[in-house]
């Protein structure tokens, strides 16, 4: 199977996270296994690391999102937006190899592709606030 770009890997993680929300009765490992078999998800260490990492750290990640979402409970944020935020915050917290500005920019690109136009400013605002709290790691 061909190697895929990091952007494509992020898209696969977003799909998995989104799917997991709608199949809460199915174990994430099973969702991942089925996705790799039926959708030919490339063998890429980033995808399972980030997918399972977001799920493992969801409470911690959601605390950051909640803190800066200005009156929006995390569960009330649209599922696509919520999972784009989770993916980016996970990267900011755990992936020292990815500059924060790259993670934010990639989140905005995912938002443009998969979400409502108005969500871009919301996503950007939350992620920049998280970035400021964590300290500016280029």
In tens, the pLDDT along 94-111 reads: 999 999 999 999 999 999
Domain count, the chain: 1
pLDDT band at 117 (very low <50, low <70, confident <90, very high): confident
- Please give the model's pTM, rounded to 2 decimal places: 0.92
User: Tokens 């995808």 identify what position?
Assistant: 47
Question: For residue 31, is it within any domain?
Answer: yes
- Asked whether 30 and 55 are in contact (CB, 8 A), the reply is no
Whole domain around residue 19: which residue ranges?
6-134
Question: For residue 1, is it within any domain?
Answer: no
In tens, the pLDDT along 21-60 reads: 999 899 999 999 988 888 767 768 899 999 999 999 999 9
Output DSSP code: residue 77: S
CA distance 61 to 38: 29
- Domain containing 75 — which CATH number? 1.10.940.10
Question: For residue 98, is it within any domain?
Answer: yes
85's tokens: 């935020």
């Amino acid at each position: 199977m061909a190697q895929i770009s990091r952007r494509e890997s992020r898209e696969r993680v977003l799909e998995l996270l989104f799917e997991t929300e709608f199949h809460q009765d199915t174990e994430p490992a099973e969702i991942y296994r089925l996705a790799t078999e039926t959708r030919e998800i490339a063998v890429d260490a980033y995808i399972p690391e980030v997918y399972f990492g977001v799920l493992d750290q969801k409470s911690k990640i959601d605390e950051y999102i909640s803190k800066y979402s200005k009156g929006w409970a995390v569960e009330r944020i649209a599922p696509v937006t919520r999972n784009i935020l989770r993916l980016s915050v996970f990267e900011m917290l755990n992936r020292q190899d990815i500059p924060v500005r790259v993670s934010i920019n990639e989140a905005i690109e995912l938002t443009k592709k998969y979400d409502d136009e108005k969500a871009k400013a919301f996503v950007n605002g939350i992620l920049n606030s998280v970035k400021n709290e964590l300290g500016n790691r280029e």
